[in-house]
A and B are shown apart, each in its own frame.
Chain A
Amino acid sequence: MSAYAKGETHRTLDDLLGTRWRRPPLVQRAWLRWVLLVGLVVYLVAAISTVEVNWSRVYEGLDRGGAFVMAFAQPDFVSRADAIWNGMVESIVMTVASSVVGILISIPIALGAARNIAPLPVYLVCRGIIAVSRALQEIIVAILLVAIFGFGPLAGFLTLSFATIGFLSKLLAEDIESMDRSQAEAVRATGARWSQCIEYGVKPQVIPRLIGLSIYRVDINFRESAILGLVGAGGIGATLNTAFDRYEYDTAAAILLIIIVIVMALEYLSGLIRARVQ
């Protein structure tokens, strides 16, 4: 649609009668289209030729793949119930604690990272914190924190809090920057202090978005907490890893099903809450 709108809309009918209609291409410039196409083909050939696939190993694995799919039909919640329960509780505990701390820290940082209410030095510092937090992936932060703080959920909790700050502060700051100025000005015109301006002029405008983002982040934190155990940072990941290592697919399937159900429940819940606050 966009391609068609660019130059061809104003051609007259006479013009068109002589030529056969052709579908407008996605990329307008012909040379660019060919360069992209040839480049893609060359890259694909190079890439696929360097990927070594041991097809006999893959073929052998199909049986195990089948066994895993079958395991989903009859997951085993019982034989490792203790390990699953402890891992799940730890994951949920990490999720809740890190979300609370992350949200509490990210609010002042978001205020600092909004150009319309923060002075330039504060703005730069806060934006720097956000950039660092967003550039580092959770699992790498977790590895470093496990090396520093030792194994256990504390490293996972700190990782998730750190990741929450980058995510939430950035989106919240953007929301504050795009808010309606006149309300904040009206509150200031009554002689309100800075803190009162924030409380009555800014907060009511951004609170629905903050709640929505927070719940979304709780959802992400839970998903991430499921893998932090792989590097020793606590949660259900360690149990899952052990289950895979022992080829106990029925237990692994049970854990994955629990994760999927909790994520779906969280998504449903967040939909309900977001619909209510907005």
Chain B
Amino acid sequence: MNLLFLNLVQTELYKIFRKGRSYIGFGAIAFIVIVIQIALFVDGESYLELGTQSLKDSFTFQGNLLNGYLSVFIILSSLWVHIPFLIALVAGDLIAGEAAAGTLRILLIRPISRTQIIWAKFTAVLIYVLAIVVFMAALSIGTGLLIFGEGDLFVMKDMLYIFDSSDALWRILASFAFSFLSMSMVASLAFMLSAVVDSSLGPIIMTMSIIIVFMIVSSIDLSIFRAVKPFMFTTYMGAWREFFSDPVDWHKVNTAVVALVTHIFIFLGFTTWYFKRKDILT
């Protein structure tokens, strides 16, 4: 990695963090996390009551069920569908936004290869995604533990799982790490569309549309949709939940990781190939 590439990454990060739209994601996450935490603080007991109602005949619950870990799990479940839109807002603008503003020209007449420009921009957007995920993790875990304290985490999936508080934190951190991979895949999709389309809004809307359509298809349990599910990246984005099974289904996790990484490389590879040949007309 040469110095010029590092400078390029630095300038791309500088551009990202000087734009107001880059902070929409942080603002939205902060707002939602705080609203959910306050709502759980005010009305969490009745929420738990509702969740455990059917189990009360068979189980007796003791201890701090409404704890920081449960609040983080609820936040993760609520937000993982919506964060892609916030990521697309920045990643989809990286090339198309510059093309629309005309600034791509002054960048491309510098003595830097187009491949380096693409990879530097993508590196910068990965750092942005990491910042978003770390911010979300730190804020939700921090506020959760501060407000509700520690406790065993109970998760109702296909069956009821109860994780000791000492066993819960690594699962939460692992699911955030997996979310980083999912969001990086979303970023690579938005970034690819950003290279193809010259309007600023186009790639953002297209990314959102693709994700919405894929998620709808993934959620409808029809045989025709079941056949295409393995080929849709949204199928693998929800694999963070596997960390809340006991034992963890590592085969599912690994398959999802391979699928997402493969998507990232395909999208980035196409972006590089396409952009190297693209006539800059704007």
Do the two chains bind?
Answer: no
| Residues in chain A within 8 A of chain B (CB atoms) | none
| Residues in chain B within 8 A of chain A (CB atoms) | none
